[in-house]
């Protein structure tokens, strides 16, 4: 491979990128816009659940239970009603997610040490949110009922009774359970995968459409030199996008980088190289920019968004889908990025993911140059 010819090809591609300011601005602004929109709008936190309370007991114990719901950040009581109808209408109008019905024998059962039941009505149209809301409400009711029952028993026994087990929960790596700390590092991976593959997937197809591919084929430039030269321009753009993502993630969303910054940069460069090489392969396989762009979007955005563990847990997917996800490189890069950002893990743990990324990058570059060689022939 001749460095001079590679540099000439890289210079040509850099000039093309600079002479198309709209595409360049789009490539640089897209990560910023996606980070801001997804980082603030996409939230997995379930709090301020709109709740309607129907209190049939109307005692000090039932009012104390209602205060427990009011004092929790997970619930927002929007109405206290005297019938079931407002709860039904609220769920139909999507202004209420949870209904809490306190029966008229609630305080009497508590005082007698019996099981005191509270009815929870949950809108199950959003099954995930409904299950989380149900769990929060059950924990509030059970904790309050346990305290009241212990107080009543202590009064009758004349001594203070304590629970046999007092669990203490400690959350590692994300103590406040902020969904942004989970979303933003994964979003960096998705953005790099989309931008890199989509930009590079147009380069060879554009040469065919503009009629300049024949001129390139008449030069002594070899397929590997053509691939390296074209990839270099988009690699620089990808590095700028990565810097934007890291800056926004750290300074705008406050996501900490607890691990090695050098490992993060090195693994990002390997992933960028593989993503751009895959875009070159897609571009070399299609003669039109429209087809290349569609194929690049289909093979980069959907797998990176759905099969990488960015939002949806891979372990909960069917085994067939889990097997397909093994071939998604964004999956391994997300493990690396989240490990470095949140856990501070190093190469001694992440070496397998890094090795898989290196193998993917080498393999895709080999197939890209092979495809270019076929076009040259």
* pLDDT recorded at residue 283: 81
| CATH T-level fold of 49-157 | abc type-2 transporter like fold (3.40.1710)
Q: Are the C-beta atoms of 329 and 274 separated by less than 8 Å?
A: yes
135-167 per-position pLDDT tens digit? 888 888 888 877 776 766 666 655 555 554 555
pLDDT at 40 over 80: no
Q: pLDDT tens digit string along 321-356? A: 999 999 999 999 999 999 999 888 889 999 999 999
> What would the pLDDT profile of 103-140 be if each residue is shown by its tens digit?
888 888 877 777 778 899 998 887 778 888 888 888 88
Instruction: Look at residue 335 in the predicted model and tell me its pLDDT.
Output: 92
Q: What is the mean pLDDT of residues 263-279?
A: 92
From 331, 362, 330, 333, select the one nearest 263 (Cα to Cα): 333
pLDDT score at 268:
92
pTM of the shown model: 0.77
Residue-level pLDDT at 262: 93
Minimal CA–CA distance to 270: which of 353, 368, 367? 353
In degrees and rounded to multiples of 5, residue 74 shows phi and psi of -85, -15
221: left (phi over 0), alpha (psi -120 to 50) or beta: beta
pLDDT value at residue 209: 74
**Closest residue by Cα to residue 287 from 223, 205, 375:** 205
Q: Where are the domains of the chain?
A: 3-43+178-376, 49-157
Could you write out the DSSP letters of every residue in 178-238?
-HHHHHHHHHHHHHHHHHHHHHHTTHHHHHHHHT-HHHHHTSS--HHHHHHHHHHHHHHHH
């Amino acid at each position: 491979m001749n460095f001079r010819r590679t540099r000439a090809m890289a210079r040509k591609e850099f000039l093309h990128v600079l002479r198309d300011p709209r595409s360049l601005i789009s490539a640089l602004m897209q990560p910023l816009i996606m980070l801001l929109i997804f980082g603030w709008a996409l939230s997995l936190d379930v709090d301020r659940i709109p709740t309607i309370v129907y209190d049939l007991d109307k005692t000090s114990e039932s009012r104390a239970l209602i205060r427990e719901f009011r004092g929790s950040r997970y619930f927002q009581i929007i109405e206290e009603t005297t019938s079931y109808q407002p709860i039904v209408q609220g769920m139909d109008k999507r202004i209420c997610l949870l209904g809490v019905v306190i029966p008229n024998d609630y305080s009497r059962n508590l005082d007698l040490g019996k099981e005191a039941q509270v009815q929870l009505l949950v809108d199950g149209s959003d099954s995930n949110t409904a299950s989380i809301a149900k769990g929060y409400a059950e924990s509030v009711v059970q904790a309050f009922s346990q305290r009241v029952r212990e107080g009543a028993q202590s009064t009758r026994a004349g001594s203070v009774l304590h629970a046999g087990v007092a669990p203490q929960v400690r959350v590692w790596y994300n103590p406040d359970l902020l969904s942004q700390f989970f979303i933003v590092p994964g979003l960096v991976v998705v953005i790099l995968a989309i931008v890199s593959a989509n930009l590079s997937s147009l380069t060879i197809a554009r040469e065919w459409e503009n009629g300049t591919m024949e001129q390139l084929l008449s030069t002594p430039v070899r397929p590997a030199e053509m691939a390296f030269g074209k990839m270099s321009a988009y690699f620089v753009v990808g590095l700028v996008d990565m810097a934007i993502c890291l800056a926004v993630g750290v300074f705008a969303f406050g996501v900490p980088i607890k691990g090695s910054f050098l490992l993060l940069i090195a693994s990002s460069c390997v992933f960028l190289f593989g993503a751009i090489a895959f875009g070159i392969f897609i571009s070399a396989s299609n003669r039109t920019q429209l087809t290349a762009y569609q194929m690049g979007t289909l093979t980069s955005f959907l797998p990176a968004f759905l099969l990488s563990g960015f939002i949806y847990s891979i372990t909960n997917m069917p085994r067939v889908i889990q097997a397909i996800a093994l071939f998604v490189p964004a999956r391994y890069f997300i493990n690396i990025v989240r490990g470095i950002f949140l856990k501070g893990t190093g190469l001694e743990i992440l070496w397998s993911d890094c090795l898989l990324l290196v193998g993917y990058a080498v393999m895709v570059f080999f197939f890209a140059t092979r495809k270019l060689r076929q076009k040259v022939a």
